[in-house]
Amino acid sequence: MFQNDCTLTEGILLIDKPCDQTSFSAVAAIRKETLQKKIGHTGTLDPFATGLLVLLLGRSWTKKAPLFLHHDKEYEAIFCLGKATDTYDCDGKVTHQSDFEPSSQDINKVLLFFQGTYVQTPPMFSAKKIDGTRLYELARKGIQVERKTGEVTIETTLLNYTYPYLSLRIKGSKGTYVRSIAQDLGEKLGCFAYVSSLRRTQSGPFRLQDSLPLNECLSLSLEELQNRLLRSI
């Protein structure tokens, strides 16, 4: 465990969040080990998702959180075609299925709809609040509510397609839900789709290759941690 000197652990820490762990639990683990009470992040990742999580350590940095909220984020995503789930991802229950196998031409054509301005509807299983209640809390109770659409800017790049798996690089502006892209893309193809894996590779100027896996961060000495912290943006 690090020394109890929070002033020594202030800055930006880039971690690679593992699968099946919430962003909150990742923050809690770093807080426990560093004894730094004030820790925030610049954008949550779903439990099934992996990749870049930008942590802000110390009061002087958590106060700057609004400066990071407008950042574009980039992901590598794999969509599974042929099925839809209630969460739009691999953690949900299958709600629809289709035997239709889109061709490569079908894929290239539909991706034209996911470039530039994109109007999306937030998933019911999301942290967005409606009248003070997070949508996922309502969804877990089986309650469906109308959600307002939002306009974001996206850029999608085809990486690979071997049915049923479609690999994409997706860059999106603030508030982009990759799971909504999967849901909408599946509907346009007429075969359904959900996100089977998601990895965040960039957030604003911060890149995944400059991060460290969470378990390695937790094994660092105080001096090693100091060397990992960023103190300018």
Tell me whether residue 233 is in a domain: no
Tell me whether residue 16 is in a domain: yes
Q: What is the extent of the structural domain holding 18?
A: 6-70+204-228
Longest dimension (CA), the chain: 59
pLDDT at residue number 6: 55
Give bridge partners of residue 197 from the DSSP assignment.
Answer: 78
Tell me whether residue 195 is in a domain: yes
pLDDT at residue number 5: 53
Return the CATH number at 30. 3.30.2350.10
Tell me whether residue 213 is in a domain: yes
* Tens digits of pLDDT across the chain (233 residues): 444 455 567 899 999 999 999 999 999 999 888 888 899 888 889 999 999 999 999 998 999 888 888 899 999 999 999 999 999 999 999 999 999 999 999 999 999 999 999 999 887 776 777 767 777 676 677 777 777 888 999 999 999 999 999 999 999 999 899 999 999 999 999 999 999 999 999 999 999 999 999 999 989 887 888 788 998 77
Question: Is the domain of 199 the same as that of 209?
Answer: no
Catalytic residue among 5, 16, 20, 46: 46
Active site residue 46: yes
Question: Is the domain of 83 the same as that of 120?
Answer: yes
pLDDT at residue number 226: 78
CA R_g for the chain:
19
Tell me whether residue 199 is in a domain: yes
Kindly give, in sequence order, each residue whose CB lies less than 8 Å from that of residue 156, ignoring residues fewer than 6 positions away.
111, 114, 115, 168, 169, 170, 171, 181
Tally of domains in the chain:
2
Does residue 165 contact residue 16 with C-beta atoms inside 8 Å? no
Tell me whether residue 84 is in a domain: yes
Tell me whether residue 223 is in a domain: yes
Question: Is the domain of 20 the same as that of 77?
Answer: no
Question: Is the domain of 110 the same as that of 46?
Answer: no
pLDDT at residue number 54: 95
Question: Is the domain of 119 the same as that of 18?
Answer: no
pLDDT at residue number 34: 82
Question: Is the domain of 145 the same as that of 164?
Answer: yes
Question: Is the domain of 83 the same as that of 186?
Answer: yes
pLDDT at residue number 181: 96
Distance CA 216, CA 5 (A): 20
Question: Is the domain of 100 the same as that of 37?
Answer: no
Task: Tell me, yes or no, if the pTM score tops 0.95.
Answer: no
Distance CA 24, CA 129 (A): 17
Tell me whether residue 1 is in a domain: no
